[in-house]
Amino acid sequence: MLNMFTSYQLSLGNGHIVVVEDSLVQAKKLQHFFDQNNITTAFFSNAKDAFHSAHDRPPVLIISDIVMPGMDGYEFCAKLKADPLLKEIPVILLTSLRDPLDIIRGLQAGADNFITKPYEEQYLLSRIHYLLANRDMKKAGNTEMVIEIMFRGNKYAINSEKKQILDLLLSVYEAAIQRNDQLILTQAELEASNENLVAANQELEAFSYTVSHDLRSPLNIISGYTQLLQTEYSKSLNAEALEFLERILHSAFSMSRLIDDLLQFSRSGRSEIKTTQMDFSDLALEVMKELRLRDPERKIQFHIQEGLSVHADPALMRVVLDNLLGNAWKYTGKTENPEISFGLTESAGKKYFYVKDNGAGFDMSMADKLFNPFQRLHTTREFQGTGVGLATVRRIIERHGGRIWAESQPGQGASFYFII
């Protein structure tokens, strides 16, 4: 077997090679390659014209694509091998070789070699060199002998010569080796990427610690001293100074919430998932009770469907309901007679969990941004938030092999549907 990376200098004398390629891009690429190697060629975009040209001026070798309009590569090769004037000309077929049946069809057509796409140019050159160097050698075996083989329950008659069959099978084997080498290289690259990913995750964990500890500590000091000024020095400060302190404290609390949300978003992507069969209705009830405790003055109707269960990670599902029910609670804050529902519905044979509210809603033209980090469809003055919660929810749902989407109209509430 020839080394595919060896350089070859071909001397065709007055001969030339016929190339049939209907892709203009591939034809130009091949033409440039042959010109660089001083190989005389005649290019054709279809097999019919190539066949007539070969009759008028027989080439020393023919290279043909398989998938072509009109006569394909197999038909073209079979027609060449059936012609007394052209049957001794070696034929190389260019193919993707994705089906073992391609080999049988090539044998039936009498092809001398396969070159699989995409191919190395030096490999193509080595195959040309090999076929030309052996074209005058005496063939072994009986050219009239017919071999019958069974493949996928069908019988095929092969009348190719033994050497021709061997060459064709060797070319397929070489292509398989090449692809295997590429797979090994790809695997090595993936392993290197995985090592880089592990290192990146370690850096992310270190960053999370920095955010949670090193940034939170000075933030707590800012909040603490601000509250101290409000309580101990309120009589000494004028109204404008007290307003400034209130704004500082409000911004510190907002930053603290953002830190919490960022940490939750980070953990949602790297924490280990431990699934179990859990009562989803009970979890929703717990979240609802906590929401009522945070704001006991609000009068809101909760509708939680009973008896719902799901096979998932309880801690991560708690994050999902905290965010979805929490958002529903927040965005119904300016609604008269607010209502929030959690349950299971079915459509087209598929079951979906849902969280619905009759709150502020949003414009569906912005729905594609809804689950992206830091994307908010309402201003901070309208509703407080960091824009990270729904991104965290989507990440958790997707890590459970599911998906989430939303439907809404401004002023008519929002419905979030998800599959676990």
Residue spans of the domains in the chain: they are 17-160, 273-420
Contact between 162 and 140 under an 8 Å Cβ cutoff? The reply is: yes
- DSSP label at 272? P
* CATH code for the structural domain at 273-420: 3.30.565.10
What is the reported pLDDT for 150? 47
Q: What's the rounded mean pLDDT across residues 45-61?
A: 92
Contact between 329 and 300 under an 8 Å Cβ cutoff? The reply is: yes
Mean pLDDT highest for which of 176-180, 185-189, 256-260, 354-358? Answer: 354-358
- Work out whether the CA dihedral 142, 143, 145, 149 comes out positive or negative: positive
Strand partners of residue 242: none
What is the reported pLDDT for 139? 45
Q: How many residues does the chain have?
A: 420
What is the reported pLDDT for 264? 64
Asked if residue 116 has pLDDT above 70, the reply is yes
pTM of the model: 0.45
Minimal CA–CA distance to 339: which of 357, 320, 313?
A: 357
The CA-CA-CA angle for residues 76, 77, 82, to 5°, reads 100
- Measured CA to CA in angstroms, residue 263 lies from 209, 216, 285, 318, 399 at distances of 9, 12, 25, 15, 17
Q: What's the rounded mean pLDDT across residues 277-301?
A: 88
- pLDDT single digits (tens) 320-379: 898 899 888 888 888 888 899 999 998 877 888 999 989 888 877 776 777 776 555 544
Strand partners of residue 301: 339
Contact between 238 and 300 under an 8 Å Cβ cutoff? The reply is: no
* Topology (CATH level 3) of domain 17-160: Rossmann fold (3.40.50)
The span from the CA of 150 to the CA of 269, in Å, is: 52
